[in-house]
């Protein structure tokens, strides 16, 4: 009896350790892997000393995961004899059969061992949740019984694998860079979440702070200027917005994205001065002229801006042009034209669709050809 209790206590202690041991630097065992259903290959009973393990988390429904498989398989083929071990762990999946069929079809294109765990399985409980993993693909790197790093599989280059296999100072430097990148990625994700929360609460200060946090984590992120602009609008700092709009020219590589974002946000915000809206229209039209072409997105955004300025006639003209641009872009696809017809019809009827309503037009677009809605021209 005492022996049984001791065994149970030891098992409980091991489980408790495993449940909190999947972050960089923590010790891990392959215990959870032994509880999975193996599609091909088998679970390791112990970590081989000096070998580098990549536990690649994926699913059949995950497009980026599938896109990463050829790269991961190429690494496995090239370095398995030099000490690389790859295990594909299918996670958050409903049913093993689809995984079996997927792996079978991949054949030699997915030659490394693959295991299946359903939703809420042991790998999720003992690895993913303790590590705070909320998205895939996600790779755990294990060496000598420790998680040495986590990464998106696309970042696992041949040079990086060779360095980690070799160890020493080169391996240490590689790990530092890899973990710094992972930390920055996590900080960026936290900043984006904080911005979303601030935006939902219309908290301009929180939005600005989140933008600064993102800039520190990812200085070159295209979301940094977008977040800062939205924070200024939330703060109703119109003089700063005016100055920003006036400064947009061809030297700014993000000019088109910025004028579009500003146009959408300003047109949906109450209390924007007419002068600021006019500057946004002028800047947008200048951008279109310099680019030499106009798209359905441009026409729709300009329609919103004109509506916000009170010029319903120009708003409808832009909406109608959006329909024509949609037809010219893809004459064989009534489905792609339908949302713009509905948008123009709503404007003609005297209402400006919200972004949510516009999105619903896309979801409701029929596959079969329909009779186009003929917008009626109205006055201001």
Domain identity same for 260 and 155: no
- Look at residue 235 and tell me if it is in a domain: no
- Look at residue 94 and tell me if it is in a domain: yes
Query: The CATH number of the domain where 299 resides is what?
Result: 1.25.40
Crossing angle of helices 296-308 and 255-267, rounded to 10°: 40
Domain identity same for 151 and 268: no
Domain identity same for 134 and 248: no
Residue 93's beta-bridge partner residues? Answer: 118
Full DSSP string of 241-282: HHHHHHT--TT-TTHHHHHHHHHHHHHTSTT--HHHHHHHHH
Domain identity same for 158 and 247: no
- Determine whether 47 is exposed, middle or buried from the number of CB atoms within 10 Å of its CB (0-12, 13-18, 19+): middle
Would you state the torsion angle of the CA atoms of residues 162, 168, 174, 177, taken in this order, to the nearest 10 degrees?
170
Domain that holds residue 372: 243-380
- Look at residue 306 and tell me if it is in a domain: yes
Domain identity same for 279 and 153: no
Can you give the pLDDT of all 380 residues of the chain as single tens digits?
A: 433 333 333 333 333 334 344 667 778 999 999 999 999 999 999 999 999 999 999 999 999 999 999 999 999 999 999 999 999 999 999 889 999 999 999 999 999 999 999 888 889 989 999 888 888 999 999 999 999 998 899 989 999 999 999 888 888 888 888 888 888 888 888 999 999 999 999 999 999 999 999 999 999 999 999 999 999 999 999 999 999 999 998 888 899 999 999 999 999 999 999 999 999 999 999 999 999 999 999 999 999 999 999 999 999 999 999 999 999 886 657 888 999 999 999 999 999 999 999 999 998 988 755 455 554 444 43
- Look at residue 275 and tell me if it is in a domain: yes
| pLDDT for 22 | 61
Listed residues 166, 194, 216: the one ending a domain: 166
- Look at residue 215 and tell me if it is in a domain: no
Contacts of 281 (CB under 8 A, 6+ apart): 263, 302, 305, 306, 309
What's the rounded Cα separation, in Å, for the pair 169 and 175?
A: 10
For tokens 């690389």, what's the residue? 84
Listed residues 134, 166, 198: the one ending a domain: 166
Domain identity same for 147 and 250: no
What's the rounded Cα separation, in Å, for the pair 48 and 358?
A: 56
Q: How far is CA 288 from CA 248, 278, 282, in A?
A: 13, 15, 10
Pairing of strands 52-58, 37-40: unpaired
Listed residues 166, 191, 217: the one ending a domain: 166
| pLDDT for 332 | 54
Q: pTM higher than 0.85, yes or no?
A: no
Number of domains in the chain: 2
- Look at residue 234 and tell me if it is in a domain: no
Domain identity same for 137 and 257: no
CB 122 within 8 A of CB 32: yes
- Look at residue 198 and tell me if it is in a domain: no
Domain identity same for 377 and 291: yes
| pLDDT for 196 | 95
> Whose CA is closest to 86, among 46, 44, 118?
44
Query: The CATH number of the domain where 158 resides is what?
Result: 3.40.30.10
Full DSSP string of 18-31: HTT--STT-B--ST
| pLDDT for 181 | 82
Domain identity same for 152 and 285: no
- Look at residue 200 and tell me if it is in a domain: no
Domain identity same for 33 and 143: yes
């Amino acid at each position: 009896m005492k022996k049984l209790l001791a065994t149970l206590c030891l098992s409980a202690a091991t489980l408790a350790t495993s449940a909190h041991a999947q972050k960089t630097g923590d010790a891990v065992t392959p215990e959870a892997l032994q509880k999975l259903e193996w599609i091909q290959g088998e679970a390791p009973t112990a970590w081989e000393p000096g070998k580098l393990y990549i536990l690649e988390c994926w699913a059949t429904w995950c497009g980026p995961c599938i896109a990463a498989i050829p790269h991961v398989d190429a690494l496995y083929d090239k370095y398995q004899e030099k000490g690389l071990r790859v295990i594909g762990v299918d996670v958050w999946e409903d049913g093993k059969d689809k995984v079996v069929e997927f792996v079978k079809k991949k054949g030699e294109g997915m030659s490394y061992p693959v295991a299946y765990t359903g939703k809420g399985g042991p790998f999720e409980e003992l690895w993913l949740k303790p590590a705070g993993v909320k998205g895939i693909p996600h790779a755990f790197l294990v060496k000598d019984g420790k998680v040495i790093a986590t990464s998106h599989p696309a970042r696992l280059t041949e040079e990086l694998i060779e360095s980690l296999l070799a160890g020493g100072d080169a391996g240490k430097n590689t790990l530092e860079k890899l973990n710094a990148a992972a930390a920055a990625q996590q900080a960026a994700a936290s900043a984006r979440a904080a911005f979303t929360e601030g935006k939902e609460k219309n908290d301009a200060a929180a939005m600005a702070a989140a933008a600064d946090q993102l800039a520190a984590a990812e200085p070159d992120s295209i979301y940094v200027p977008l977040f800062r602009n939205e924070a200024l609008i939330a703060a109703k700092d119109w003089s700063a917005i005016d100055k920003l709009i006036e400064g947009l020219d061809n030297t700014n590589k993000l000019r088109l994205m910025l004028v579009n974002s500003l146009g959408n946000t300003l047109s949906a915000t109450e209390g924007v001065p007419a002068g600021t809206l006019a500057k946004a229209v002028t800047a947008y039209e200048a951008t279109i002229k310099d680019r030499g072409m106009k798209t359905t997105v441009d026409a729709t955004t300009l329609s919103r801006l004109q509506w916000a300025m009170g010029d319903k006639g120009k708003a409808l003209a832009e909406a109608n042009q959006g329909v024509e641009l949609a037809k010219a872009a893809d004459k064989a696809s009534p489905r792609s034209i339908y949302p713009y017809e509905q948008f123009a019809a709503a404007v003609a009827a005297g209402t400006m669709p919200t972004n949510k309503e516009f999105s619903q037009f896309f979801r409701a677009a029929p596959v079969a050809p329909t009779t186009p809605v003929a917008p009626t021209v109205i006055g201001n």
